[in-house]
């Protein structure tokens, strides 16, 4: 039978691939040590065929990778459809565009108004007029502190915020997600757009998340969609004296011989959201110390969350409507074990 021949040939080829062999051996070693010892108990000829099934499974993983590549393509396609709406959102937030009365109509507002009695309505009107006067005095532009409020409303993000970050984040005007081009290694970029400010000269801060979209040769069965493997930040051009990721400390130093004491100043890293733009690097061998691993695990989770949740539905995080049910979703649906995050 032709098919069987082809299959056998393929199996032989695969069994000659040292990486696949090593992966299989590792798996089998694991099973040998398992309490049931079930695999051990199987006749040799059956075990041999189970290996064939596993080889089929490896092939499935590679087809799954193709599936996710197409998903990525679809995401790119739809990102282009969302973008004009996100741009308009940005224009309203930054006061580049004043929405019309029609655009500002929202059903829930009407319903609320209907439930107010006539008398209340009068009071309400007076109050509104007063508020209007207040507003005219302050004359807020666009939606002040839109993104910094979003940050404050989301635990995952507010945990990173320090008090000294807040005045800087008030200048954040948009966050955009850009996907890698077709044929390029899979990645996405978060762009943080800032209005001109006194803290740094950059107008855009970027964070790139590289994904692994293919099963790992040494562990093909763990593949469950693209995973974030590493990320890179950008250099922030801080204005003099505004680098909040640094602090200077004074240290007393005693001269050993003479016993005199002098004070030296040292700069050391300071907690700040802006450390987000200088994440630890993943070394070539993939091995990280515990601290860096913890930082990166949190970082990947945040990057993923901003891409999947914050950017698509920012207004609901601003109002608080999106907050309740989200934290669970992320850990259950999207969080993989280890460093990576599947999408």
Shortest Cβ distance from residue 271 to ligand NAG (Å)? 5
Q: Does 221 bind ligand NAG (CB under 6 A)?
A: no
Mapped onto helix, strand or coil, the DSSP state of residue 145 is coil
Residue (115 or 248) nearer to ligand NAG, CB = 248
Residue 246 Cβ, how far from ligand NAG at the closest point, in Å? 4
Q: Are 156 and 301 in contact (CB under 8 A)?
A: yes
Whichever of 58 and 244 has its CB closer to ligand NAG, that residue is 244
Q: Which position among 76, 152, 247, 334 is part of the footprint of ligand NAG (CB under 6 A)?
A: 247
| Pick 241 or 286: Cβ nearer ligand NAG | 241
Query: For residues 99 and 269, which CB has a smaller minimum distance to ligand NAG in the complex?
Result: 269
Among 20, 157, 244, 341, binds ligand NAG (CB under 6 A): 244
Which range touches ligand NAG (CB under 6 A), out of 94-102, 134-142, 219-227, 238-246? 238-246
Q: If phi over 0 gives left and psi between -120 and 50 gives alpha, with beta otherwise, what is residue 243?
A: beta
- Residue corresponding to tokens 């630890």: 280
Q: For residues 176 and 206, what is the distance between their CA atoms, to the nearest angstrom?
A: 10
Q: Which stretch binds ligand NAG (CB under 6 A): 64-72, 202-210, 236-244, 314-322?
A: 236-244
Q: Cite the DSSP H helix spans in the chain.
A: 2-16, 18-32, 38-41, 44-93, 101-104, 107-115, 118-138, 146-153, 155-158, 166-169, 290-305, 314-319, 326-329
Name the helix (H) or strand (E) containing 211.
Answer: strand 204-212
**How many angstroms separate the CA atoms of 179 and 321, rounded?**
27
For ligand NAG, which is the closer residue by CB, 278 or 336? 278
Q: Residues 261 to 280: which contact ligand NAG by CB under 6 A?
A: 269-271
CA nearest 339: which of 287, 278, 275?
287
């Amino acid at each position: 039978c032709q098919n069987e021949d082809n299959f056998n040939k393929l199996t032989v080829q695969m069994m000659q691939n040292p990486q696949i062999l090593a992966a299989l051996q590792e798996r089998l070693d694991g099973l040998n040590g398992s309490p049931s010892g079930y695999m051990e108990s199987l006749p040799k000829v059956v075990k041999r065929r189970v290996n064939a099934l596993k080889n089929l499974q490896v092939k499935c993983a590679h087809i799954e990778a193709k599936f996710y590549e197409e998903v990525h393509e679809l995401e790119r396609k739809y990102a282009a459809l969302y973008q004009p709406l996100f741009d308009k959102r940005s224009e309203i937030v930054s006061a580049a565009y004043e929405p019309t009365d029609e655009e500002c109509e929202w059903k829930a507002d009407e319903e609320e108004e209907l439930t107010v009695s006539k008398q209340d309505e009068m009071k309400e009107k007076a109050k509104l007029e007063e508020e209007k006067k207040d507003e005219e005095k302050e004359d807020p532009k666009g939606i002040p502190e839109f993104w910094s409020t979003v940050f404050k409303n989301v635990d995952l993000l507010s945990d990173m915020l320090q008090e000294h970050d807040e005045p800087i984040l008030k200048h954040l005007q948009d966050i955009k997600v850009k996907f890698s081009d077709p044929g390029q290694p899979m990645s996405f970029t978060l762009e943080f757009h800032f209005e001109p400010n006194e803290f740094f000269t950059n107008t855009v801060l970027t964070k790139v998340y590289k994904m692994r979209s293919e099963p790992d040769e040494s562990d093909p069965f763990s593949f469950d969609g693209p995973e974030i493997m590493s990320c890179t930040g950008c250099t922030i051009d801080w204005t003099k004296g505004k680098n909040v990721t640094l602090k200077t400390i004074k240290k007393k130093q005693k001269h050993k011989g003479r016993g005199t004491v002098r004070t030296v100043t040292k700069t050391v890293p300071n907690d700040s959201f802006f450390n987000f733009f200088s994440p630890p690097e993943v070394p070539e061998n993939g091995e990280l110390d515990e601290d860096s691993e913890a930082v990166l695990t949190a970082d990947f989770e945040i990057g993923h969350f901003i891409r999947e949740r914050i950017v698509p539905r920012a207004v609901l995080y601003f109002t608080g409507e999106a907050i309740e049910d989200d934290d669970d979703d992320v850990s259950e649906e999207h969080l993989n074990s280890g460093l990576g995050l599947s999408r």
